[in-house]
Structure 1
Amino acid sequence: MRNIIKVMKPLDIIIIVILIAISFIPLTVFSMTQTYNAGDKVTAAIIQDGEVIREIELTGHEGNEQFVIEGKGNQYNLMEVDDERIRIKEDNSPDQVGVKMGWKDKPGETIICLPHKLLVEIRAEGNNTESEEIISY
């Protein structure tokens, strides 16, 4: 350790400190884009095959609600809304990625189940309520 310190020059230390500070810029930018006012209305938009099929207001939601989103054939997603958060509780897709994504409640977060072409997008009022571009499958 002492050998390393002897080899380093003051300019090297300044460069290292600057690089460490720069590495935190993405974290700051992403956290600023995720923020919203406490008074904003937060909703969950459930989108299947590029169409919004249901919107659920999460702000002020109390209790537990479960409902099924049916897809093509025998595809299904059991959705659960508990107070002000939402998740895919159960589905019959082979990989269960949507189920593993867990609870979502902050604007900008998403839950995706690709085999069923299902997207759950958390939105805050003030954000554009329609997706600018919905990816088609």
Structure 2
Amino acid sequence: MKIWHELKKQWRYMDGVVIICLIVLSFVPYVVFGINQAKHKEDTSGNIAIVTIKGKEVDRFDLNENTKHFEKTYYPGGDKYNIVEVDGTRIRVKEDNSPDQIAVMTSWISRVGQTSICLPHQLVIEIKAKNPDNDEDEMIMTY
């Protein structure tokens, strides 16, 4: 109880105001992210998946409800391989022979901006909007 009384003696009104402001401000990123996600409701009819190996685009897949399920194997070099699976509006790296299996553990991706990356094989799958509303994201990345 002695510690509590000492803390009460040191407590100031502005300490409480600062603490409450910091707690409120800690939720700002969550709110901004939620608003941004609500603005960009996923339009699954207009997404494409871009597969790149070593920085060069090797494939593009339309991701929509009419896309049939299929698998495609990529050989980035040597004895390396990646099996990419497409199923409707989503895509994933189903299997590869990399040591960490990061891309396999990423599992399905389907929303604009999501990526699946296999660093040892330098394979990247990225979801982009087929018809972006504006080039705001492009402007942000060029600075």
For Structure 1 versus Structure 2, the TM-score category normalised by the shorter chain is 0.7 to 0.9
Q: Which of 33, 46, 51 is matched with 1:46 structurally?
A: 51
What is the aligned-residue identity percentage?
35
Give 2:69's match in structure 1, choosing from 55, 64, 68. Answer: 64
Corresponding residue number in structure 2 for 1:22: 25
Aligned pair in 2 of structure 1 residues 16, 61: CA closer, same or farther (>3 Å)? Answer: farther
Could you tell which deviates more after superposition, 13-22 or 25-34? 25-34
What is the total number of aligned residue pairs between the two structures? Answer: 131
TM-score by length of 1: 0.78
Higher helix share: 2
**Aligned CA-pair RMSD:** 2.8
**1:76 paired residue number:** 81
Residues 6 and 102 (structure 1), Cα distance of their counterparts in 2 relative to 1, 3 Å cut: same
Say which one has the larger Rg: 2
Larger mean CA deviation between 83-92 and 39-48 belongs to: 39-48
1:1-137 mapped onto 2 (5 Å cutoff): 3=4, 6=8, 8-34=11-37, 36-39=40-43, 41-124=46-129, 125-126=131-132
**More off after superposition, 106-115 vs 9-18:** 9-18
Rounded to whole Å, the distance in 2 between the matches of 1:87 and 1:93 is 15
- SS of 1:71's equivalent in the other structure is strand
Displacement of 1:28 in angstroms is 3.4
**TM-score computed with the length of structure 2 as normaliser:** 0.75
**Shift in Å at residue 62 of structure 1?**
4.0
Structure 1 unaligned residues grouped into runs of 5+: none
Provide the rounded CA distance (Å) in 2 between the counterparts of 1:90 and 1:30.
Answer: 32
